[in-house]
Structure 1
Amino acid sequence: MAPVARPSIQAWAGFACMGVGMFMAILDVQVVATSLPTIRTALGMSEDEVSWIQTAYLIAEIVAIPLTGLLTRTLSMRWLFVAAVLLFTLASAGCASSGSFGALIGWRLLQGLSGGTLIPSVFAAVFLLFDERDQTLATTFAGVLAVLAPTLGPVVGGWITDAYSWRWLFLINLAPGLVAGFLAAFFLPRDRPDLRLAARIDVVGVCLLAVGLACLEIGLKEAPGRGWSSARVLGLMSVSVLCGGAFIRRMLRSDEPVVDLRNFAALRFSLGCALSFILGMGLFGSVYLMPFFLGFVRGHDALAIGETMLVTGVAQLLVTPLAVALEKRWDARLLSAAGFALFGAGLAASALQTPTTDFREMAAPQVLRGLAVMFCLLPPTRLALGHLPHEKVPDASGLFNLMRNLGGAIGLALIDTVIFSRLPTHADRLVESLKAADAQAARFVGIAPALLDRTSPPTAAEIAFVEPLVRRAAMTIAINEAWMMLAGVTGVALVCLLVSGGWLKIRDAGLEPLGRPSHPGSGGWPST
């Protein structure tokens, strides 16, 4: 489907409906996270069971994302979105009415499968509905929604849980979901579905993809608690690698692949995906670390956490017009480098927290990250998708968004590993420092240095008072190390951009199949 010469109001209206669906899908993950303890109490779940409320959704979502291209070719962009958003709405109603653990998990799986197609569909629509002049504005609209949803999630979730009940976390999806679905059916282009493709779907390939990604997601979830070398985690990762390898081999040999991995032959697309992966680690990681610190160290409730995190969203909205203007005029790699450098500075600034850090001290790092996000999202999106033929965009958009989610999943697993593996070490070191009457350590922990200047051993009451302070201080240090890890990973983006600059000047990989250079008469994809 070629974009129109100048997008009509109808095209923008249809795209706005798609944006609403994507916003719902992203927001749903965050608002539910704030109320997991409430849901656990209401349905009588164990600690292990309650974590599956989120894990079930994320597994289904990460499996659905790369299948978006296949589903778009089969159902058309219009009917895929309508079916997905209405199915997501139905699943939301099912979640709200659930009375048991099993029922809730089943509906969450359906939510994830439908919600997973909404995000890449929107980013694909940017390049299918609009010409080059309007693609930047459309990408900005989608990017603002994609980044704003996690920022607003804790506020919305905390307020709904406090004012109403956890079931309204799902019921709020009903009205916008129904409206977006029916309006999109009217406004989006009326492309005809090609249902004949359904009969030729590579079922084995789909199963390999689903099993490989599901095992990877579960393995990453289990690794911080059980250990990366535990038999369960190694088994899951082994199955993921085997299925992934078989899937890649099968797709590269297929004439009608489930996911067209040959898109990675384009250097610009591969670079964009690498940047998307790194942004996922930083974005998902920061949205995870801030509530973690504010909840476990500062002791704030969900609503207070959400109010603190609004700073990022406000900064992001304020810089959006500038990002749009610069994206039209400056080289995408230069803007991306500036964005990731600023984003990394914001992550590194958060690594200076103390147990007493709160809203005022956390504002500046949030502003840095908020100002940087659009420059880390808009240019890489154009870099990855802007040069592709229209028929390749749906598949490529699925892969591009999958990389961001994979980056987030791996980032969260590494963060938990850093925090919970380093926390005991830091606690022991703080205890030793306190025994040595280290005044700086005492002030960091939160006790008066004068209390260390004594000859008598501490009483049981004093030990009971100091122990939680030491644990809180040790957790702060471990969280700071996780922030520094994310900042270091962000530096990899700068290296990728620096190295790729020379390559892009020498050659443009285009869309030639891996291992088969394209030349006149070769039958390969033409270079672009």
Structure 2
Amino acid sequence: MASTTATSDDLPQAPAPTETAANMPGFAPPNRALTTIGLALASFMQVLDTTIANVSLPTISGNLGGSASQATWVITSFAVSTAIALPLTGWLARRFGERKLFMWSTMAFVIASFLCGIANSMGLLVTARALQGLVAGPMYPITQALLLSIYPPAKRGQAIALLAMVTVVAPIAGPILGGWITDNYSWEWIFFINIPLGIFSSLVVGSQLKGRPEKLEKPKMDYVGLATLVLGVGALQLLLDLGNDEDWFNSSHMVALAIIAVISLVVFVIWELTDEDPIVNLRLFRHRNFTAGTIAMVLAYSAFFAVGILVPLWLQRNLGYSAIWAGLATAPIGILPVMIAPIIGKHGNKVDLRILASGAFIVMAFTSFLRSHFNLDVDFNHIATIQLMQGLGVALFFMPVLQILLSDLEPHEIAAGSGLSTFLRTLGGSFAASLTTYAWTQRSAVHHAQLTEHIPATDPAMLQTIAQYGAGDVQRGAMVLNGMITQQSMQIGFNEIFHLLGIIFLAVIAVVWIAKPPFGAKGGAAAAGGH
């Protein structure tokens, strides 16, 4: 007999509480496989666009008459807008419903992609990319919430594993696909390919989920929260993106951005914790598993993102790889997640998810320590093999940690929780990208100074050796020797950073074990059987 107690998921039009989303046997679309494909494609498209333009920036700036620094705004504008929009997912879902939010966001992403493709100036392209990032923000968390809602509890691990696979493969495919499209067609097509994918996803998911029970609310707009969020996140993202070029806090602009970010975010946190109807529900951190899982996700993803930034840069700067070959050398990291993720999703819940996550971090730490012993003579096969090995860690990482952090959320909190954790994960990745490149530059400079101070520049034997490097010309030989020292100092800096990343991965294991089972979603039993 169904409960007569109303829940937070009551439908506005329901004639009786027995027709609530929480008490129903669970909504199932007419074709679950087709719905899953539509949701996965949308997520793939959105994550792909975070990296697909990276290798095309020189071509884009050349065609549109922009400088290299202007071209980076094609990436930055997307990142800033996405970071701002992500935490709004929960509020938008409550106001408009998850199904409509997905459809509108996906179709708006299609329109923004079209505008990117037809842009005839750098200013228009950056504006279109900002719009694209703004509407992309809710897509991943709302996809996650919808995907979980159409699977019974026993199969939700498989749904999360699918999203995890997309999250890993799409950023890897981005640079390779972007480079291939730019070389063989034109850069506009890196945006135009979104149009058929987005239309298909929106129409399929919209039709398949028609009639899905949802509770709509009319939460008041939290203008103070929204304003401080936009100011704080926008300033912080700009600080992270431009810090290296502007010499960080030696620039008055960077100091101003830091002050704006700190004040805005402090006010934002205080306001959101005390407001009755916050635009971002920070009270989700009252859940133990959500807190532990989110911290683990942010730390581990930041370290993982740092690997993804540093290895391709090192391949191109130190080993002389082209962008495409650097992409090919790093691509094997996606092989094992594609092969293993479905197995992990199906059988992962049979073991303690903390054990799976710990195994993931051990593998990722091990591969980081292996990279900390790289030298300038390392070959393609060795690099690709370690990337392949790390793929095992990646395959074991996302599904367990995602399931842990969502496990103690109420059903109506999943969209907001997913949006908040994804926002913090994205912000962590931005921190990692900026801090990693900064640390590499700084440590390389330190080691360059240490190596050169031991060279006796006035010693006749040393001058003769230097002259030999330059075919008898001391000045040319000094340039050659300086280049060799620079390469070696960059290599030492690279090795040091990877040793630190290995330690970070091991430290995350302790965070995961703060979470407590069971790790089945709270909405699972209710959705499945009306308990």
Q: TM-score range, shorter-chain basis?
A: 0.7 to 0.9
Distance 2:495 2:245 in 1: 20
1:116-515 alignment, distance < 5 Å: 116-191=137-212, 197=218, 200-230=220-250, 231-432=252-453, 459-498=474-513, 500=514, 504=516
Determine if contact 2:159/2:345 at 8 Å carries over to the other structure: no
Instruction: Compute the TM-score of the two structures, normalised by the length of structure 2.
Output: 0.86
Identify if the C-alpha distance between structure 1 residues 167 and 397 changes in structure 2 by more than 3 Å, giving closer, same or farther: same
Distance 1:94 1:453 in 2: 57
Shift in Å, 1:126: 3.4
1:13 aligns with 2:60: no
1:409-461 CA-partner distances (Å, limit 9, x unpaired):
1111110111111222222333345659xxxxxxxxxxxxx957989996223
Aligned counterpart, 1:520? none
Shift in Å, 1:114: 1.2
Determine if contact 2:164/2:398 at 8 Å carries over to the other structure: yes
Distance 2:29 2:215 in 1: 25
1:347-403 CA-partner distances (Å, limit 9, x unpaired):
222222212323212123212320011222111111111232111111111111112
1:258-278 CA-partner distances (Å, limit 9, x unpaired):
111111011110011011101
Q: 253-262 vs 426-435, which deviates more?
A: 426-435
Match of 2:94 among 73, 77, 85: 73
Shift in Å, 1:497: 2.9
Shift in Å, 1:488: 2.5
Distance 1:117 1:298 in 2: 39
1:456-500 CA-partner distances (Å, limit 9, x unpaired):
9962232233333332222222222232232232232123234x2
Aligned partner of residue 38 in structure 2, secondary structure? helix
Q: Which amino acid aligns with 1:50?
A: A
Q: Which amino acid aligns with 1:207?
A: A
Q: 353-362 vs 370-379, which deviates more?
A: 353-362
Distance 1:137 1:70 in 2: 27
Distance 2:54 2:323 in 1: 10
Shift in Å, 1:212: 1.0
Determine if contact 1:435/1:452 at 8 Å carries over to the other structure: no
User: Greater share of helix residues, 1 or 2?
Assistant: 1
Q: Which amino acid aligns with 1:462?
A: G
Distance 1:125 1:8 in 2: 11
Identify if the C-alpha distance between structure 1 residues 453 and 356 changes in structure 2 by more than 3 Å, giving closer, same or farther: same
Determine if contact 2:371/2:498 at 8 Å carries over to the other structure: yes
Q: RMSD of the alignment, in Å? A: 2.7
Shift in Å, 1:235: 2.4
1:4-52 CA-partner distances (Å, limit 9, x unpaired):
5484552442232121111111111211001111111111212321111
Distance 2:37 2:330 in 1: 25
Distance 2:379 2:208 in 1: 46
Distance 1:196 1:396 in 2: 17
Shift in Å, 1:75: 1.5
Aligned partner of residue 182 in structure 1, secondary structure? helix
Determine if contact 1:275/1:380 at 8 Å carries over to the other structure: yes
Determine if contact 2:94/2:217 at 8 Å carries over to the other structure: no
1:112-171 CA-partner distances (Å, limit 9, x unpaired):
011111111122223322221110111111111111001111211111111111111111
**Count of residues in Structure 1 that have an aligned counterpart in Structure 2:** 493
Q: Which amino acid aligns with 1:80?
A: L
Aligned counterpart, 1:525? none
Distance 1:455 1:387 in 2: 65
Identify if the C-alpha distance between structure 1 residues 110 and 277 changes in structure 2 by more than 3 Å, giving closer, same or farther: same
Q: Percent identity?
A: 25
Distance 2:190 2:412 in 1: 37
Determine if contact 1:10/1:188 at 8 Å carries over to the other structure: no
Determine if contact 1:11/1:188 at 8 Å carries over to the other structure: no
Distance 1:463 1:49 in 2: 35
Identify if the C-alpha distance between structure 1 residues 423 and 388 changes in structure 2 by more than 3 Å, giving closer, same or farther: same
Distance 1:496 1:177 in 2: 37
Unaligned runs of 5+ residues in structure 1 are: 437-449, 512-528
Q: 28-37 vs 218-227, which deviates more?
A: 218-227
Distance 1:418 1:159 in 2: 31
Distance 2:33 2:90 in 1: 22
Unaligned runs of 5+ residues in structure 2 are: 1-20, 458-463, 523-531
Q: Which amino acid aligns with 1:460?
A: Q
Distance 1:315 1:286 in 2: 17
1:54-108 CA-partner distances (Å, limit 9, x unpaired):
1100000011111111111111111111111111111111111111121011100
Distance 1:322 1:414 in 2: 35
Q: Which amino acid aligns with 1:264?
A: F
Identify if the C-alpha distance between structure 1 residues 142 and 111 changes in structure 2 by more than 3 Å, giving closer, same or farther: same
Q: Which amino acid aligns with 1:248?
A: V
Instruction: Compute the TM-score of the two structures, normalised by the length of structure 1.
Output: 0.87
